Amino acid sequence: MEWRDQGMVLSVRRHGETSAIVEVFTPQHGRHAGVVRGGAGRRMAPVLQPGTQLDLTWRARLEDHIGTFTVEPLRGRAAGLMGDRLALAGLGAVTALLLFVLPEREAHPALYARSEALLDLLGRSDVWPLAYLQWELAVLEEMGFGLDLASCAVLGAAANDLSYVSPRTGRAVSRGGAGDWADRLLPLPACMLGHGPAPDSEVMQGLGTTGHFLRARLAPALGNRPLPEARDRFVETFRKTLRE
């Protein structure tokens, strides 16, 4: 068995004396693991970092074996982010969430494209937080838990003041439709609808809303595992930047 693809490194763990087991996300083969001979050595270890883009060849005797990767680096990301706390935390959140949500060996080419584009924006603090929020919305959509933000669940398409999301249904609710229930609903900042300049405070509100659905809807479907701590670390790092 053999295939060739490109992919981004999600995780690396030592295997034996000098090898490493590397998990990658590829457009054609999804989340896939393989052994890299010499992957723990001085030459390869600096290359095999989360977020690194690789050209990959996977080989195994049988399809269900873990197999081995032959890798060629295409683009590194982590090394250029040293000293940028927010970017490093964001990289950790993306790779950890992909490991959390993706089934093994199942292609998700649209999510792969969104993820690659997001990682290419790392370090761009002017656009990255909003791009990350939009990516979390895309993750929910790809996994079958997308939010319905097209119209008000109470008043219908005529409503033009969408301001909330129902925590139960994931549908948008207008200010007029919320009425006395407003304090029980989640915020729907304009940036989640693609409107306005998207200040960081709005993005922070949006992350609270997407975080609810990651925890309350997606995580239970994946065996009720807790969300990766890396996601919480990124949100907290971003929160601190609002106070600095």
Give the domain extent around 84. 80-149+188-243
> Once rounded to an integer, what is the mean pLDDT over residues 48-77?
93
Residue-wise pLDDT for 124-180, tens only, equals 888 999 999 999 999 999 999 999 999 999 988 766 789 999 999 999 999 989 999
Residue 156 inside a domain? The answer is no
Residue 24 inside a domain? The answer is yes
pLDDT of residue 244: 55
Residue 176 inside a domain? The answer is no
The CA R_g of the chain, rounded to the nearest whole Å, is: 20
Same structural domain, 104 and 127: yes
- CATH label of the domain that carries residue 17: 2.40.50.140
Same structural domain, 22 and 100: no
Q: Which H or E run includes 116?
A: helix 109-120
Q: Among residues 21, 51, 76, which one ends one of the domains?
A: 76
Same structural domain, 120 and 7: no
CA distance 169 to 14: 43
pLDDT of residue 107: 97
Residue-wise pLDDT for 197-241, tens only, equals 889 999 999 999 999 999 999 999 999 899 999 999 999 999 998
Same structural domain, 61 and 89: no
CA distance 131 to 124: 10
Bridge partners of 70, per DSSP, are 57
- CATH label of the domain that carries residue 207: 1.20.1440
Same structural domain, 30 and 116: no
Give the distance, in angstroms, between the CA of residue 143 and the centroid of all CA atoms in the same chain.
12
Identity of residue 76: G
If one counts the domains in the chain, the total is 2
CA distance 151 to 165: 11
pLDDT of residue 141: 97
CA distance 243 to 241: 5
Same structural domain, 97 and 218: yes
Long-range contacts formed by 178-185: CB under 8 A, 24+ apart: 178/154
**DSSP letter, residue 64:** T
Closest CA to 175 of 198, 197, 152, 146: 152
Same structural domain, 198 and 132: yes
Same structural domain, 65 and 108: no
**DSSP letter, residue 228:** P
pLDDT of residue 159: 62
Q: Among residues 49, 76, 103, which one ends one of the domains?
A: 76
Give yes or no for a contact between 206 and 220, defined as CB atoms under 8 angstroms apart: no
> Once rounded to an integer, what is the mean pLDDT over residues 187-201?
92
Same structural domain, 98 and 192: yes
Closest CA to 51 of 105, 102, 109, 99: 99
Bridge partners of 171, per DSSP, are 148
- Whole-model pTM? 0.94
What's the Cα-to-Cα distance from 216 to each of 76, 102, 165, 200, 227, rounded to whole Å? 34, 17, 14, 24, 10
Q: Among residues 59, 76, 93, which one ends one of the domains?
A: 76
Residue-wise pLDDT for 64-103, tens only, equals 899 999 999 999 887 777 778 999 999 999 999 999 999 9
